[in-house]
Amino acid sequence: MGDGFVIQSISNSSGNNRENSKKGKDKKKKKKKRGGSNKKMTTEQTLAFKSVSEWVFLDQPSALTSSAASCVVDDFGVQKALGRGGEKVVFELHSHSKCSDGFLSPSKVVERAHGNGVKVLAMTDHDTLSGIPEALETARKYGIKIIPGVEISTMFSPSGDSEAEEPVHILAYYSSCGPTRFEDLDKFLANIRDGRFDRAKNMVLKLNNLKLALKWEHVCRIAGKGVAPGRLHVARALVEAGYVENLRQAFSRYLFDGGPAYSTGSEPMAEEAIEMICNTGGIAVLAHPWALKNPVPIIRRLKEAGLHGMEVYRSDGKLGAYSDLADAYGLLKLGGSDYHGRGGHHESELGSVNIPVLALNEFLKVARPIWCSAIREIFESYAEDPSDSNLDKIMRFGRTRIFKGGSPLSCGKDLIDHCLPHWLTNEEMENPEFDAIKLKLSNISVIQGGIKVLVAST
């Protein structure tokens, strides 16, 4: 969300705070908690934890917990499972870098996430995947897993009536290899980014008409080179120019949805975005449904369009009403901090949202077969047509570097043998379709720009 002001920073005692807020309704429970805040996992949780950590530590088997029995859950009954060395398996599924309207570079976001104990980070910049390669590069240093993601700006129109349109953000999560049909997705996102330029220009124009002499150049300077300016960048320009005291005021006076300087861009319909996500091997999740005026019809329609899940967890806990809605429509229950790196007390910290291990397991149960097919599709198109552009698709987010003029021994099979163990479990790789692809690739030298290349690990 570009303008959410969600509360609470990371806190070890968040479980207790929540308990305190219930004013000790259940005395027995409270006493038990004082005796020791951790309890054993149920069998179901233990199995879920095993399965989740197997995926998290796929390419670092040494880090895999030897025994899930050493795991504990916190009072929230959830995720704070301790692996070997007392490490937590924390997922952060919603974060922004300065590739959209965040304040930190992708590397800094990864570093900060690592500092907070995050093991899996989804970078979900608005309408762009441009921060993913840098995030991946840094994540390798820290042994963090990156889920390539994007938060797509869309509109929802209840009855095709543009008057009642409402902005809706859809998160997309992709396999380690990225989306299939990358060009289609990229074009889709580029259209939205272009629309953002027009939208931001329009907002500046409206502010100028309100006698606020904000300069377009100022907004672009804040957004930074190559970054599509958004509402937050306009808000920051307003603060810097001294027209408002802080961001909150910029929104509450001028930029709120429907506000005097608000403007819409050329966002696609939410259903179109979901279709695009599904067609490119992604998982589609409704972001911050609590920001919607009328969530029920939106959720109903988007579920029909193929939506996989919705955010229901925040750093201040699970939102019961949204959790019930997710259950009612058979949607995955997820969440994340929506970290932008603004600083200040109101911002949720990276890794501060507790997602129960059972919910994470459900997420991976749905996502992994989809991601596995996506990876297969990407390799298949390379096996069919070993062109530069098809090789780029494997290399874009892959854990490989290519060295031109390297050993002529490397063939397409080496490439797939090198990549797959980082992305898939043995079980997933044992698919006969992968064997068929390998067979095809064993006759193909990896050639880029007419030069044989050596595929090497980094």
Residues contributing to the site for Zn ion (CB under 5 A):
1, 151, 169, 287, 338
Q: Which residue number, 110 or 394, has a Cβ lying nearer to Zn ion?
A: 110
3-state secondary structure of 280: coil
Q: How far, in Å, CA of 400 to CA of 246, rounded?
A: 44
Q: What 3-state DSSP class applies to 59?
A: coil
| Separation between Cα atoms, residue 355 and residue 309, nearest integer Å | 13
Q: Which is nearer to Zn ion, 1 or 189 (CB)?
A: 1
- Shortest Å distance, C-beta 267 to Zn ion: 12
Nearer to Zn ion, 55 or 251 (CB): 251
Shortest Cβ distance from residue 288 to Zn ion (Å)? Answer: 6
Cα separation, 193 vs 199, whole angstroms:
10
Q: What does the DSSP assignment read for 294-352?
A: SHHHHHHHHHHHT--EEEEEETTEE-HHHHHHHHHTT-EEEE---B----STTSPPTT-
Least distance CB 104 / Zn ion (angstroms): 14
The nearest distance, CB 176 to Zn ion, in angstroms, is: 21
Tell me how many degrees the CA angle 192-197-198 measures, rounded to the nearest 5.
Answer: 95
Question: Smaller CB distance to Zn ion: residue 336 or 412?
Answer: 336
Please give the residue whose beta carbon sits closest to Zn ion in the complex: 1
d(CA 363, CA 283): 9
State the CB neighbour count (10 A cutoff) for residue 137: 14
CA-based end-to-end distance of the chain: 34
Smallest separation, CB 292 to Zn ion (Å) = 11
Report helix, strand or coil for 423: helix
Q: CB of residue 122 vs Zn ion: minimum separation in angstroms? A: 11
What CA–CA distance (Å, rounded) separates 57 from 62?
8
> Closest approach of Cβ 155 to Zn ion, in Å?
13
Give the nearer residue to Zn ion in terms of CB position, either 168 or 214: 168
Query: Least separation, in Å, of the C-beta of 171 and Zn ion?
Result: 8
Nearest to 100, CA basis, from 79, 133, 128: 128
Q: Which is nearer to Zn ion, 6 or 446 (CB)?
A: 6
Which is nearer to Zn ion, 1 or 71 (by Cβ)?
Answer: 1
Angle CA(265)–CA(268)–CA(271) in degrees, nearest 5? Answer: 145
CB of 166 to Zn ion, least distance (A): 13
Nearer to Zn ion, 169 or 318 (CB): 169
| Sign, CA torsion 431/437/443/445 | negative
Q: Judged by CB, which is closer to Zn ion: 308, or 413?
A: 308
CB neighbours of 138 closer than 8 A, spacing ≥ 6? 106, 107, 110, 111
